[in-house]
Structure 1
């Protein structure tokens, strides 16, 4: 009875700490690297060892696996967005356009992991997954098109990892990550048109006659190396604590910038003769993260899990694209703030074949009210998750999970200058986002 009371006291204390804090860094970070973990809201990401997805969650946990196994799966994200009260101006004059919303296409986020115990203390693992990504694709004629109408960033990582278990209590793990990033930005850039505006003593005078929108597109890619470290500690057989660190990765995306007029031809500045078709580059650091979690076996059938994550989002302070000479092509301030994440979840072994899961995450966005943009219009969020694991035979498990994400309604109030600050574009709108995540995973144990 005393042991059970101590477990309940620990569970209640950690749960109270979790709910007392605001949580998780949303931004463009992706959490879909484990469907078994999705079922309990990734609350035990660094401490709960279910399958080979622990390669990502905490490399130290591989040495707790009793045999080789492979886990393959993915989550399909269905995102919907309502945009209300949208308006835009150009030098104070209203411009027209649509605001249909639902600008995030449905996406499947896949992954694959393999873990192999070499001895009773040493284990090796490998994983392929997406740690970061974002996409917004507004309709043609979007009213906020002068601020941004298409954004895509994808990062794919390959991670070889080793783990060593010192004794029944302690294990450590470490791995390298090779990361490939691709990015693309579109917007309709307002630009003056020039023509004959009069005569001066018989000499034609050329001046500004109006405004046109140029279709500006920037594409780039790069690769970079990072690393991750993990520690797992079992002070008692029923209690597991895990701590994982994932490093930042620095990129210089190089590619092309191209700006075209309505006729589809590359725009040439009539004053300077400069063609708007050149090389471009963008410096980007994906942030480091720290995750701590605890898994507590309450009974032989029930586990409770609690987790906290910290992400150094302050590294994402701007989108600055320059040409080969270092001249600015586009600049957008982001001003992200560091953020915490907390989650609580549980697993219940209903029968030898079926395991049920549920979890809750409460996320606090790293975006600021001042610089929140149409590219990533997110705010504080809550995620409710349920899941199940089915093991029809000893060596094979099917995991399924569903998550519902709802965000607090937010506002985008953007303003930016163009054409040497002679044209000021603004965009204002109210956003309400929600998403459904459907996950499936197969695990085979050798």
Structure 2
């Protein structure tokens, strides 16, 4: 019983903690969110680190801030419309089909805001900037009693980054460097059902199992576990912007890993007959009590190369290549405040790559149009994919436009359709199995405003 309890309890907390922190920069691979710029979204983030008219370079490549003039303020909002619909089933510990529906549409509509500020000191060649963004996040919620309830029912992740950066012109109009500090806060609430009947059933000797009461059989006494956790961490970013000719720009940026010490709490809802049974046995009476827990985790690094080439006064072509170091999430070690022993949760994620290409066409003094394509890898595999993160490789198709409303004010729009390969699930945990496929849809809608003082 102790082993089964530890597995269930630690698994719930592990999903909560790693859900909050297993993220690098929703929507790139895993929980990574790139949506800190509507203009960049319109190009599928091609050239994100060399865009000299996009204040999001505070976080994407601070070296490019040296190309700005005066003071710039930019506000972006991207609405992520997620759809995750499951088709499949499962079996309990004695081979019976798990009851419940398909969970409905587990996705949600999530607004992702960002605000950026850059000021250039012309006499010194120094630029400073700040950005507040929500680089990590997820919200999925399944209908109560769905077939996968023992793996997940609600996942709600929120993160906020404050990035403070500075840049310096080394060779005016040709070479600049930049660096910044990243202050990151993450909050998470996740929950799932717990099959206490299966736990009690597994504790009985085989000869007694046919005579077990209904609440001591698989699916006979569902309870609930909810995990909450939060933490803050510090990281850094560095970048270089090289412009060997008036037409060509090359950017390189590196965002560091960020170490977190998560503080979390687990809240249990235990059916009355189960609690009475546990409390009557000295070896199980301390189990499933509310309490605290924690874990040390490291979020991945992100390395990005950006290129732009100005073919004519009206048209430029841009590209991005980035690599996210998801191998930093091979496993986590969870430590409980109560006497329960530590547990190690395996993730075995791989590093991922993001490729994008896009173009911009300046139609006239008022309008600029853009479009882009990208391919984004997932760090998950069939063996590691869960209902909290039904993630797969995805292809981006983006369009966007900017309108120069006045001499100082520019308004931008973007739309992106993400074509996601149908994620498949095949899990075994605590005697349960879950298998099936997701129909995933993702649409991004963005609007931003930039004002130059």
Regarding TM over 0.5, the answer is yes
**Cα distance in 1 for residues equivalent to 2:194 and 2:70:** 57
Alpha-carbon distance, 1:400 to partner: 0.5
Classify 1:95/1:59 alpha carbon distance in 2 versus 1 (closer, same or farther; 3 Å): same
Are the aligned partners of 1:154 and 1:181 in contact in 2 as well (CA < 8 Å)?
A: yes
C-alpha separation in 2, matches of 1:180 and 1:122: 28
Calculate the aligned-residue CA RMSD, in Å: 2.5
Instruction: For residue 64 of structure 2, give the secondary structure of its aligned residue in structure 1.
Output: helix
**Alignment map for 1:350-365 (pairs within 5 Å):** 350-365=363-378
Query: Does 2:125 match 1:154?
Result: no
Aligned partners of 1:264 and 1:182: how far apart in 2? 34
1:210 matched to 2:213: no
- Of 223, 243, 247, 2:252 maps to 243
Matches within 5 A, 1:187-226: 187-192=192-197, 209-211=216-218, 212-226=221-235
Q: For the Cα contact (< 8 Å) 2:225–2:267, is it kept in 1?
A: yes
The alignment status of 1:438 with 2:445, answered yes or no, reads: yes
- Are the equivalent residues in 2 in contact too, given 1:306–1:343 (CA < 8 A)? yes
Question: Displacement of 1:147 after TM fit?
Answer: 1.4
Aligned partners of 2:103 and 2:144 also within 8 Å: no
CA distance in 1, matches of 2:422, 2:370: 29
Contact 2:400 2:415 in 1 (8 A): yes
Q: Is the 8 A contact 1:232 1:242 kept in 2?
A: yes
C-alpha displacement of 1:328? 5.2
Distance in structure 2 (CA, Å) of the matches to 1:415 and 1:123? 53
The one-character-per-residue Cα deviations of 1:174-232 (angstroms, maximum 9, x if unpaired) are: 0001110112221111124769x9xxxxxxx9999424222011101010100000100
Structure 2 CA distance for partners of 1:412 and 1:332, relative to 1, 3 Å: farther
| Cα distance in 2 between the residues matched to 1:206 and 1:136 | 35
Give the match for residue 175 of structure 2: 170
* Cα pair 2:291 2:338 within 8 Å, conserved: no
More strand by share: 1
Structure 2 CA distance for aligned equivalents of residues 69 and 265 of structure 1:
61
Give the C-alpha shift of residue 321 in structure 1: 4.0
- Structure 2 CA distance for aligned equivalents of residues 264 and 406 of structure 1: 47
| Residue 87 of structure 1: aligned partner | 90
Q: Residues 206, 304 of structure 1: CA spacing in aligned structure 2 closer, same or farther, 3 A cutoff?
A: closer
- Is the aligned partner of 1:370 residue 2:383? yes
What's the secondary structure of 1:55's corresponding residue?
helix
Q: Which structure dedicates a bigger proportion of its chain to helix? A: 2
* Structure 1, unpaired ranges of 5+: 1-23, 198-204, 418-423
Deviation of 1:439 after TM superposition, in Å, equals: 0.3
Separation in 1 of the partners of 2:408 and 2:325? 39
**SS of 1:413 mapped into structure 2:** strand
User: Is it true that 1:273 corresponds to 2:279 in the alignment?
Assistant: no
Whole-Å Cα distance in 2 between the matches of residues 267 and 253 of structure 1?
Answer: 32
Distance, in Å, in 1 between the alignment partners of 2:416 and 2:276 is: 46
2:399 aligned residue: 386
Q: Report if aligned partners of 1:89, 1:427 keep a CA contact under 8 Å in 2.
A: no
- Using the alignment, how far apart are the partners of 2:256 and 2:275 within structure 1? 40
Q: When the two structures are superposed, what TM-score results if normalisation uses the length of structure 2?
A: 0.85
Q: 1:325 to 1:113 in 2, by over 3 A?
A: same
Aligned to 1:258: 267
Q: Which residue of 2 aligns with 1:53?
A: 56
Inter-CA distance 114–263: structure 2 relative to 1 (3 Å threshold): farther
State the shift of 1:368 in Å.
1.1
Q: Does 1:287 align with 2:300?
A: yes
How far did residue 153 of structure 1 move? 2.4
Deviation at 1:269, TM superposition (A): 3.4
Aligned to 2:35: 32
Q: Distance in 1 between matches of 2:407 and 2:275?
A: 62
